[in-house]
Structure 1
Amino acid sequence: MTPQIFSEIATLIHDAERILFITGAGISADSGLPTYRGIGGLYDDVHTEEGIPIEVALSGDMLRQQPELTWKYLLQVERACRGAGYNLAHRLIALLEQIKPQSWVLTQNIDGFHRAAGSRQLIEIHGKVGELLCAKCHFEMAVPDYRHIESVPICPRCHNVMRPNVVLFGEMLPEQAVAELHREMVRGFDLVFSIGTSSVFPYIAQPVFEARQWNAKVVEINPGFTEVSGFVHYQLPMRALDAMQGIWQALGYPLPQDDASR
Structure 2
Amino acid sequence: MTHSKSVLATLLVFGLFRAVPTAAQQSETAPASSLEAPQQQTTQPSQPEGGQQVAVPEGSKKETRGFFGALVHNLGDDLKHMPRLNSLYWLAAGSAGAAAIHPADDSINQHLVGSDFADAFFVPGKVLGSTEFVLSAAFVTYIVGRRGEKERVQHLGMDLIEATLLSEGITEAIKYSVRRQRPLNPDGSQQGTYSFPSGHATVTFAAATVLQQHLGWRAAVPTYLVASYVAMSRLHDNRHWASDVVFGSTDGIIIGRSVTWHGRNFYAMPTFVPHGAGVMVAFAP
TM-score, length basis structure 2: 0.23
Structure of larger gyration radius: 2
Give the number of the structure whose residues are more often strand, by fraction: 1
Higher relative contact order (CA 8 A, sep 6+): 2
TM-score, with structure 1 as normaliser: 0.25
Higher helix share: 2
